[in-house]
Structure 1
Amino acid sequence: MTSASCLLMIVMFAAMAAAGVHNVEAAGPRRLLGPVTVTLGAVKIRKVTVAGSGCPYETPLVSISADNQAVTIPFLDYQVAVPAALKDRQKSCIITVDLDYPAGWTYVASKWTYQGWVELQKGLVAYQSAKYYYQGGQPACERIAKWDALKKPIAGRSYTIQEVCPEGISFSPCGEVRGLNILTRMWIDNKKNYNAEGVIKAEVIDGEVKSWNLFVVHLYWQWCY
């Protein structure tokens, strides 16, 4: 290559840099780092379906907050108790929330908040778990709460728990609109004391007033094109 040719190429590259021209991947969406000026807009719930032994008989009135950051799922009569047959010592419910949101966005369920009531005699351990994954099977996060009464009974009380997913969990696929599947489970381990009585339920009790349990999934949105 002659000196004149080299000089010409240097001048061309300098001009491209000054004009802000740069190479990008030709195929597939890419995530932008840093602030963006694109507005998410409204997120809607198209459809809700439920399945499982712990699900309500009627589809719950699932709602999404005005800021698109919280999906609220009400539960009632979702409980397990001992002593009882195996089917009554463990219950589960899968809720599918079919979301509709603008193209170019991706989301992650970064944390959950849920409430309930637990009462255990000595020798029992109760669990409540929540797992979510995107429609299509892509897993995301699972958390399990535990109430241990092996050595000391737990008097009846309400509880509120917030579970935070670890850093690095996967966002929904960029460039695709995906709904959210939520699997909740409750169970009691009574292997150490088969005769002990206990209950854990998705119900909030304030004195003699019972109210819906509200399972809240907190969403974090990101522009990904």
Structure 2
Amino acid sequence: MRKATAAAALAVLFTLSPTTAHAAEAVPSERVTVDVVTVNGSGCKQGTAEVVVSSDNTSFWVVYSDYLAQAGKGAPAADFRKNCQLNLQINIPQGFTYGIAEATYAGYGYLQRGATGYQSVNYYFQGQSETNTWKHNFTGPFDDNWSITHRTEFADIVYAPCGEKKNLNVNSSLRVDKGTSDANANSFLAMDYTRGEVRTLYHFSWKRC
């Protein structure tokens, strides 16, 4: 049952029209690409994260293959928190700049009664101060898919400086605290639906320089 629900949820998530994101100006027609410069963190060990840009240049996905935090029976002590720090070089056509208007994270959680968890994220351009951190809390008992969308008001979108190469830093984390839950049970949060491939979706907001 869970797999069927997950498939349906992913179908909805990844077929959402990119026009739901803020569109300041025309999207560039020349192909946009993303290079992963560095990958750090227990949630995205080397070889477990990649980036895919949509064919219409309106968004990109970060695809993980091993991003899960857990606590309780059988869980290594260090697994209660997982994080991922990506440094991305967004290669865009001359005459354009971009910001991140919206980001959607999706996953699955199983928290025993008494356990808690959270998911957090921030993103900012190289050389700039970190943005506010978006954080979502979970409270057990919880056993379901989850999907969280962080939207930035149009007037508050931060754009990369025109004509400068400023990489985008994307930082995220998952945490599970067993709290007062049964010591013989396990709780976890994963940024996926099927415990396999994990995707997060970022929408561009484009602007001419």
TM-score, scaled relative to structure 2: 0.76
Indicate which of 138, 148, 153 corresponds to 1:147. Answer: 138
Quote how far apart the aligned CAs of 1:147 are. 1.1
SS at match of 1:117: strand
* One of 55, 64, 67 as aligned partner of 2:56: 67
CA RMSD of aligned residues (A): 2.5
**Pairing 1:215–2:200 present:** yes
Deviation (angstroms), 1:88: 1.0
Contact 2:108 2:190 in 1 (8 A): yes
Structure 1 residue 171, shift from structure 2 partner: 1.5
Q: Does the 8 Å CA contact 1:109/1:219 hold for their aligned counterparts?
A: yes
Task: Give the whole-Å Cα distance in 2 for the aligned partners of 1:37 and 1:203.
Answer: 32
Gaps of 5+ in 2: 1-23
Contact 1:128-1:187 at 8 Å conserved across structures: yes
1:164 to 151, 156, 159: 151
How far is 1:70 from its partner?
1.0
1:184 paired with 2:191, answer no
Residues 124-165 of structure 1: CA distance to partner in whole angstroms, max 9, x if unpaired?
11111111111224434531122122xxx11x2222222212
Q: Indicate how the Cα distance of structure 1 residues 126 and 37 shifts in structure 2: closer, same or farther if over 3 A, else same.
A: closer
What's 2:114 paired with?
123
1:44 pairs with 2:29: no
Shift of 1:42: 2.3
CA contact (8 A) 2:28 2:96 kept: no
User: What is the identity percentage for the equivalent residue pairs of Structure 1 and Structure 2?
Assistant: 28
Equivalent residue letter for 2:163: G
Q: Which amino acid aligns with 1:203?
A: D
Kept in 1, the 8 Å contact 2:71–2:77? The answer is no
Corresponding residue for 2:82?
A: 91
- Select the structure of larger CA radius of gyration: 1
The count of residues paired between Structure 1 and Structure 2 equals 182
Q: Secondary structure at the match of 2:197?
A: strand
Q: TM-score, normalised by structure 1?
A: 0.71
Query: Given that residues 125 and 160 in structure 2 are in contact (C-alpha distance below 8 angstroms), is that contact kept between their aligned partners in structure 1?
Result: yes
Where does structure 1 lack aligned partners over 5 or more consecutive residues?
1-34
Instruction: Specify the code of the residue in structure 2 equivalent to 1:106.
Output: T
> By how many angstroms is 1:37 displaced?
7.9
Contact kept, 8 Å, 1:128 with 1:185, in 2: the verdict is: yes
